[in-house]
């Protein structure tokens, strides 16, 4: 006879969890509000000394009605769009009032100039420079095409043009630090230069919005020990997104137990539908629900906290955390094991020293145990001496009133002896919830018995949480 006993030995082992074209945003055209003449080593040293209609260029629709003018520009003809240029009139513009979203990454700066000269004779152009530090240093200059006697709009730089710099920060394009330097390049010093409109456009890539976390819901209980976490974020630029998830042991979300980063490993991630240019190779479209199945079981009956974060691998690259750190509690452990087979083995008559087993090559009485709990289980097994009449004792080898009892978990491929009666031995480790294990037994009878009465041996299987 085989019986099952469910025991519980809780071992709290926390084994936890944890783009693609860029669509940049834009500030739109921002007009300057402050002009300062360069008064040394800059042509006539008076910048744009005359105005018509206003003190700074701001007209956006009409022609030749409002702006600034440099009369008889410079002290010599010049085509050099480089600093220093002592021949050409120059002015510095500031206070463009640039405002960027938090975490935005600047991808380019465009300068828009609409103006004309009083004559189309020769080649007459405008040259611009940008400064990130209040005018202490300047980028290389960029020059317009030939500007004739009628208003023409020129654009310099572009949405992906950083003016020779590796990057621009938000603090470098604010009113304190950002400057634009404008230079007239004329074929003759008798040329008068007119600027009707001057503006900059800062292009940028926005970071994702904070992700929402949907499953498990905040405070949810009886959560599986291997849950599928679900979350999603949107990206203002429509870029594809990658994610990471961190599991914490505290409500303050300061003690990270494990991090699952999609940029590091794709294991467990569900629903990827887009390919990113940069690592990771697979990611999610904006606003698409992402999923992550934990690869290792959590401890049962335990409260955890988690937070999802989104990042835009091909855009801003900034990691944005969810605004909250949510909690969930895994279901309480249920430890249970049962027999799905008969539970009774009849060996029949055994001659002196005879041997029988339960495999298909023996008496075909293989027994099957099942994990009826909800956690991983370790199973142990023990046997008793044989009772009925004069008892038989368990031994390492057969003798008078002494038998040998063995078990196998691989259909008799290998046998393990019961070493002592009523002593538990390891049977199987890490049996999953709902999983089964076949067990076979082999009995070697005594070489001699002082009676011929039927004997009974009891086998007990004990389950404990892994």
Is 4 a domain residue?
no
- Domain containing residue 361: 336-465
**What's the pLDDT at 86?**
96
Is 8 a domain residue?
no
Domain termination site, one of 291, 308, 330: 330
User: Is there a single domain that holds both residue 198 and residue 264?
Assistant: no
pTM score? 0.64
| Domain containing residue 56: CATH number | 2.60.120.260
**What's the pLDDT at 279?**
67
- CA-nearest of 100, 94, 86 to 43 is 86
User: Is there a single domain that holds both residue 218 and residue 200?
Assistant: no
**What's the pLDDT at 61?**
40
User: Is there a single domain that holds both residue 201 and residue 59?
Assistant: yes
| Domain containing residue 384: CATH number | 2.60.40
pLDDT in tens, the chain (466 residues): 333 334 322 222 222 222 333 446 899 999 987 899 999 999 999 999 887 655 455 443 444 456 888 999 999 999 999 999 999 999 999 999 999 988 899 999 999 999 999 999 999 999 999 999 999 999 999 999 999 898 889 999 999 999 999 999 999 999 999 999 999 999 999 999 999 889 999 999 999 999 999 999 999 999 988 899 999 999 998 889 999 999 999 999 999 998 999 988 889 999 888 888 776 778 999 999 999 999 888 988 899 999 999 998 877 788 999 999 999 999 888 899 999 888 899 999 989 999 999 999 999 999 999 999 888 899 999 999 999 999 999 999 999 999 999 999 999 999 999 999 999 999 999 999 899 999 999 999 999 999 989 999 999 999 998 8
**What's the pLDDT at 9?**
26
User: Is there a single domain that holds both residue 37 and residue 171?
Assistant: yes
User: Is there a single domain that holds both residue 42 and residue 181?
Assistant: yes
């Amino acid at each position: 006879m085989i019986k099952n006993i469910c025991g519980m030995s809780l071992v709290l082992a926390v084994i936890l969890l944890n783009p693609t074209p860029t669509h940049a945003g834009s500030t739109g055209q921002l007009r300057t509000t402050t002009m300062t003449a360069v008064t040394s080593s800059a042509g006539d040293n008076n910048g744009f000394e005359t105005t018509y209609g206003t003190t700074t260029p701001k007209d956006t629709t009409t022609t030749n009605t409002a702006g600034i003018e440099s009369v008889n520009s410079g002290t010599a003809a010049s085509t050099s769009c480089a600093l220093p240029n002592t021949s050409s009139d120059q002015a510095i513009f500031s206070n463009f009032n640039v405002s960027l979203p938090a975490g935005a990454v600047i991808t380019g700066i465009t300068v828009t100039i609409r103006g004309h000269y009083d004559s189309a004779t020769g080649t007459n152009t405008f040259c611009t420079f940008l400064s990130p530090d209040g005018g202490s240093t300047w980028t290389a200059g960029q020059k317009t095409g030939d500007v004739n006697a009628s208003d023409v709009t020129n654009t310099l730089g572009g949405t992906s043009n950083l003016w020779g710099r590796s990057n621009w920060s938000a603090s470098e394009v604010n009113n304190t630090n950002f400057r634009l330097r404008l230079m007239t390049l004329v074929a003759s010093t008798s040329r008068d230069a007119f600027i009707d409109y001057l503006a900059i456009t800062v292009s940028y890539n926005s970071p994702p919005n904070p992700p929402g976390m949907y499953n498990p819901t905040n405070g949810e209980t009886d959560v599986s020990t291997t849950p599928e976490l679900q979350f999603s974020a949107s990206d203002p630029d429509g870029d594809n997104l990658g994610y990471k998830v961190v599991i914490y042991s505290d409500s303050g979300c300061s003690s990270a137990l494990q991090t699952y980063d999609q940029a590091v490993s794709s294991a467990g991630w569900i629903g990827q539908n887009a390919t990113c240019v940069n690592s990771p190779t697979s990611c999610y479209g904006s606003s698409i629900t992402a999923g992550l199945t934990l690869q290792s079981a959590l401890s049962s009956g335990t409260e955890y906290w988690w937070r999802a974060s989104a990042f835009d691998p091909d855009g801003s690259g900034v990691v944005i955390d969810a605004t909250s750190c949510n909690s969930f509690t895994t279901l309480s452990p249920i430890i249970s094991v049962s027999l799905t087979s008969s539970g009774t083995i009849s060996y029949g008559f055994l001659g002196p020293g005879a041997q029988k087993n339960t495999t298909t090559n023996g008496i075909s009485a293989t027994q099957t145990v099942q994990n009826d709990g909800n956690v991983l289980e370790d199973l142990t097994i023990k046997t008793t001496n044989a009772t009925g009449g004069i008892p038989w004792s368990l031994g390492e080898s057969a003798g008078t009133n002494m038998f040998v009892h063995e078990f196998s978990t691989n259909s008799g491929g290998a046998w393990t002896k019961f070493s002592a009666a009523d002593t538990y031995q390891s049977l199987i480790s890490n049996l999953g919830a709902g999983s089964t294990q076949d067990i076979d037994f082999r009995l070697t009878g005594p070489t001699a018995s002082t009676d011929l009465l039927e004997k009974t041996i009891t086998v007990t299987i004990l389950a404990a949480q892994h």
